[in-house]
């Protein structure tokens, strides 16, 4: 049996999801007539404490819609240099939204408040773009699933809010943060105007994300979604699985966090390896191979030969992600296999 630690996106829909899909009541969602999608959007908006929700095909689409519906062409968007929006969304902010990215250095997903404050432009000077949006990411993927402290989010909200600049929260793994912090998810979402969540990662739905925000913003996002080819018809077929995801898959994320800690702890004991995110906040472990004579490509291949899949961050770093289909025994096996391997090379 393969142990797939590349991403939590590999999770298969549960039996309960397949059952819900089979019996989903559906309609034409472009007409706004899919009862399952309407219910899912309302459920997500209520859960996240916002007025309205929009079902979208992917997190990337939802993030792009958040930008399109809250900025004008030529606006500047402030975001972290290693944010998913900047780093991993195919340049869509430039290519499609026509905005200019103002990327700031970020440590554990946090740009300093001082740098954000300095970077905000509200001038009416003809030469300068204006800041249209500030983007945060929680949990923060590239730093290893880091959680943004609530106090940090509050500071960003105070700063941007005071200048009438909207905040978008890329919360693809937002529930990992709320579960780990032991807070209501709204304690986090209160600091952002729009929030994106993914149903298809740790929550195990086959596809789909939801963008929530105030009604006018979501109305604009709906128009842009149509323009991007994201209007779908009997979408309740997949939305039904999303309902199960929100209703019953959130609390179990704690198991993934425990497994990630066990994994990091086991690997941390190997002097040949270094864990980049020493304090594992959620379900991602990033391992540095600097001390090894082999690079990431070879490391990944050797593990693959033993039925273990991990993903590549760069030439010297790999990423391991725990999820519903990774058991404690799997994690222990992975530690054993890696231990043997690093001692051999």
Ligand X SMILES: *Cc1c(COP(=O)(O)O)cnc(C)c1O
Contact between 285 and 264 under an 8 Å Cβ cutoff? The reply is: yes
Taking the least distance from each CB to ligand X, the nearer of 257 and 270 is 257
Query: Sign of the CA dihedral 272, 88, 58, 217?
Result: positive
List the interface residues with ligand X, window 158-197 (CB under 6 A): 170, 172
Position 211 contacts ligand X (CB under 6 A): no
Strands 274-275 and 284-288, by their bridges, are antiparallel
CB-count burial class (<10 Å; 0-12, 13-18, 19+) for 258: middle
**Residue choice 60, 69, 71, 322 for contact with ligand X (CB under 6 A):** 60
DSSP one-letter code for 239: H
Q: Is 59 in the site for ligand X (CB under 6 A)?
A: yes
Give the nearest distance from C-beta 332 to ligand X in angstroms.
26
* Interface with ligand X, residue 264, by CB under 6 A: no
Burial status of residue 210 (CB atoms within 10 A of its CB: 0-12, 13-18, 19 or more): buried
CB of 228 to ligand X, least distance (A): 13
82 binding ligand X? (CB under 6 A): no
Query: Going by DSSP bridges, is the β-strand pair 131-137/52-56 parallel, antiparallel, or unpaired?
Result: unpaired
Per CB under 6 A, does 334 bind ligand X?
Answer: no
Q: Which of 58, 186, 288, 306 binds ligand X (CB under 6 A)?
A: 58
108 binds ligand X (CB under 6 A): no
Q: Name the one range near ligand X by CB under 6 A: 54-62, 178-186, 270-278, 310-318.
A: 54-62
CA-nearest of 3, 34, 98 to 305 is: 3
Nearest to 145 by CA among 171, 113, 167, 183: 171
CB of 210 to ligand X, least distance (A): 11
Residue 92 interacts with ligand X (CB under 6 A)?
no
**Does residue 198 belong to the site contacting ligand X (CB under 6 A)?**
yes
User: Is 34 near ligand X (CB under 6 A)?
Assistant: no
Burial status of residue 148 (CB atoms within 10 A of its CB: 0-12, 13-18, 19 or more): buried
The footprint of ligand X (CB under 6 A) covers 58-60, 63, 84, 137, 141, 170, 172, 198, 209
């Amino acid at each position: 049996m393969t142990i797939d630690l590349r991403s939590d996106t590999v999770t298969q829909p549960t039996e309960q999801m397949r059952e819900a899909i089979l019996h989903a009541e559906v309609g034409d969602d472009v007409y706004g007539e899919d009862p399952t999608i309407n219910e899912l959007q309302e459920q997500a908006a209520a859960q996240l404490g916002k007025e309205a929700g929009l079902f979208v095909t992917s997190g990337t689409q939802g993030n792009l819609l958040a930008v399109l519906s809250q900025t004008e062409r030529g606006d500047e968007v402030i975001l972290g240099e290693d944010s998913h929006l900047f780093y991993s969304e195919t340049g869509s902010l430039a290519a499609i939204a026509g905005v200019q990215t103002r990327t700031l250095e970020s440590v554990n997903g946090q740009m300093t408040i001082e740098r954000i404050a300095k970077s905000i432009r509200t001038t009416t000077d003809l030469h300068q773009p204006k800041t249209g949006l500030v983007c945060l990411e929680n949990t923060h993927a590239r730093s290893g699933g880091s959680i943004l402290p609530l106090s940090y989010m509050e500071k960003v909200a105070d700063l941007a809010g005071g200048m009438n600049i909207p905040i978008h929260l890329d919360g693809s793994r937002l529930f990992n943060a709320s579960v780990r912090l032991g807070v209501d998810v709204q304690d986090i979402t209160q600091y952002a105007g729009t929030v994106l969540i993914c149903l298809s990662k740790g929550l195990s739905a086959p596809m789909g994300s939801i963008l929530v925000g105030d009604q006018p913003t979501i109305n604009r996002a709906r128009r842009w979604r149509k323009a991007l080819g994201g209007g779908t018809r009997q979408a309740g077929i997949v939305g039904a699985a999303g309902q199960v995801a929100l209703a019953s898959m959130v609390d179990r994320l704690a198991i993934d966090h425990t497994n990630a800690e066990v994994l990091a702890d086991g690997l941390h004991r190997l002097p040949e390896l270094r864990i980049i995110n020493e304090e594992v906040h959620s379900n991602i472990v990033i391992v540095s191979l600097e001390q090894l004579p082999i690079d990431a490509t070879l490391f990944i291949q050797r593990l693959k030969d033993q039925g273990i899949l991990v993903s590549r961050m760069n030439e010297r770093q790999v990423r391991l992600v725990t999820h519903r289909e990774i058991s404690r025994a799997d994690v222990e096996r992975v530690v054993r296999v890696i231990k043997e391997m690093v001692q051999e090379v």
